[in-house]
Amino acid sequence: MPSEPAPRRIGAADSKTRARLVDAAEQLLLEEGHAAVTSRRVGARAGLKPQLVHYYFRSMEDLFVEVFRRRAEESLARTDRALTASASLRTIWEINADPRGAAFNVEFVALAKHHPAVRAEVARYARRYRAMQLRALSRALAEAGVAPEDAPPMVALLLMTGLTQVMALEQVLGVTAGHEETLVFVQDLIDRLDGGRRAG
Amino acid sequence: MPSEPAPRRIGAADSKTRARLVDAAEQLLLEEGHAAVTSRRVGARAGLKPQLVHYYFRSMEDLFVEVFRRRAEESLARTDRALTASASLRTIWEINADPRGAAFNVEFVALAKHHPAVRAEVARYARRYRAMQLRALSRALAEAGVAPEDAPPMVALLLMTGLTQVMALEQVLGVTAGHEETLVFVQDLIDRLDGGRRAG
DNA sequence: GTCTATACTTCGATAGAC
DNA sequence: GTCTATCGAAGTATAGAC
């Protein structure tokens, strides 16, 4: 049987040096975009030799996946805590409207289009996040007395997600016409629903 | 006075060769993402020497701007034609739901984050497109008998834009849970509004 | 007005030293 | 288990020939 072409050795996953490289990659990704995340620049940012990137990660794609995974897990945990503390419509909206992570999304969606490993990881996270929010929103809408026929939780969730994402994205471009008006409208709606429970 | 540092000569804007380079760049952008749009690869795709890219464009960023501008103008013209022919809610929705261009958006938003010239061009287009749609949607909602207090046109437009964008984006990831349900819901709503004009 | 020869930088990756 | 010396390929851009 044709043995594998001698895989090169990869550093331990719990290495301190490895964590520093992931930190550096994350910073570069946020500040300058994924095109700036090269082994040389990551090494320089971490104060380490660039070759170490290739020692700890089989490829640059692997490094991207690791950066994403770390942030995604943290984000899921934070959202879970917030929803456990309070599952009101207001809380769910605020979690969605939080612009942190919007810059990340832009970079990782672009990466996902052409890197299968990144795409798989982003998709996995998107599904978990969606399911978590859907559970909370279903309950919150029911408690607010909104009938599922009038506003199916999944439809409401996609509308909310889309709205916050498009506004975060336009913020980057400096296009903010209508944002304030829309935020006021949505928050009024939520106040009415959250306040007047079982009122319709 | 310190004269400019000798700008190098740039090819004519109406050159046939130049158009071929823009075509090649557009193809590469769609197929493999903006990271694949390098002078070498654009040249190869066009069947030309890579140096020609630098003859016709002062920088790679200029090439990106040109690719974007060409598509954006075409898209604006197409939308304008569609809205002139029919300004119903259904038409406006269908224009938005058209997934063509979604792949482009992902690439150019990522580029815009770190290339000022691209950002300015994308923002300019976004504003024009938004204004064009807002005019049409305001009229369509009024004709359907929807009061601006119940559904302000700007709010409705941002919701619609966000919804179609987030679905197009998730399509790329292979995450389509809830999409069908949401499409049916929206289309039912539109049918009711477009059909029962002045019904409320 | 058009194109090419060439310079110089940076890239990802690996083989082998400690 | 950790790190470095080094490679070949690919990147942008310009000066100068036609």
Say yes or no to pLDDT of B144 above 50.
yes
- The predicted structure's pLDDT at residue A97: 94
DSSP sequence for A90-126 = HHHHHHHH--TTHHHHHHHHHHHTT-HHHHHHHHHHH
Ramachandran region, residue A151 (left: φ > 0; alpha: ψ -120 to 50; beta: rest)? beta
Confidence of residue B200 (pLDDT cuts 50, 70, 90): very low
Return the residue in A60, A119, A150, A163 with the most chain B beta carbons within 10 A, the one to mutate for interface testing: A163
- The predicted structure's pLDDT at residue A156: 98
The reply to whether residue B119 touches residue A174, judged by beta carbons under 8 angstroms, is yes
Quote the CA–CA distance of A194 and A35 in Å, as a whole number. 44
Which residue in the set A106, A174, A177 is minimally distant from B110, CB to CB?
A106
pTM value > 0.75: yes
Quote the CA–CA distance of B153 and B87 in Å, as a whole number. 14
Q: In this structure, are residues B183 and A150 in contact, taking their beta carbons and an 8 Å threshold?
A: no
Say yes or no to pLDDT of A3 above 70.
no
Say yes or no to pLDDT of A196 above 70.
no
**Distances from the Cα of B15 to the Cαs of B10, B19, B20, B56, B72, in angstroms?**
11, 7, 9, 9, 20
Instruction: Locate the DSSP E strands across chain A.
Output: none
The reply to whether residue A114 touches residue B32, judged by beta carbons under 8 angstroms, is yes
- The predicted structure's pLDDT at residue B7: 75
Confidence of residue A200 (pLDDT cuts 50, 70, 90): very low
Residues of chain A with Cβ-Cβ distance to B186 below 8 Å are 155
Residue nearest to nucleotide D6 (CA to C1'): A51
Return the residue in B68, B175, B181 with the most chain A beta carbons within 10 A, the one to mutate for interface testing: B175
Which residues, in sequence order, are CB contacts of A15 under 8 Å at separation 6+?
A: A56
| Window 60-99 of A, Cβ < 8 Å to B | none
Confidence of residue A194 (pLDDT cuts 50, 70, 90): confident
- Which of strand D's nucleotides are less than 7 A from any protein C-beta? 1-6, 10-16
The structure tokens listed for A174 are 């400096």
**Average pLDDT of the segment spanning A193-198:** 71
Say yes or no to pLDDT of B196 above 80.
no
Q: A99-125 pLDDT, tens per residue?
A: 888 889 999 999 999 999 999 999 999
Nearest Cα of chain B lies from the Cα of A90 at a distance, in angstroms, of: 18
What long-range pairs does B66-69 form, CB within 8 A, spacing at least 24? B66/B22, B66/B25, B67/B22, B67/B25, B67/B26, B67/B29, B68/B104, B68/B108, B68/B118, B68/B121, B68/B122, B68/B125, B69/B121
Q: Is the CB of A12 under 7 A from strand D?
A: yes
Residues of chain B with Cβ-Cβ distance to A166 below 8 Å are 158, 161-162, 165-166
**Distances from the Cα of A183 to the Cαs of A20, A152, A160, A177, in angstroms?**
39, 21, 11, 12
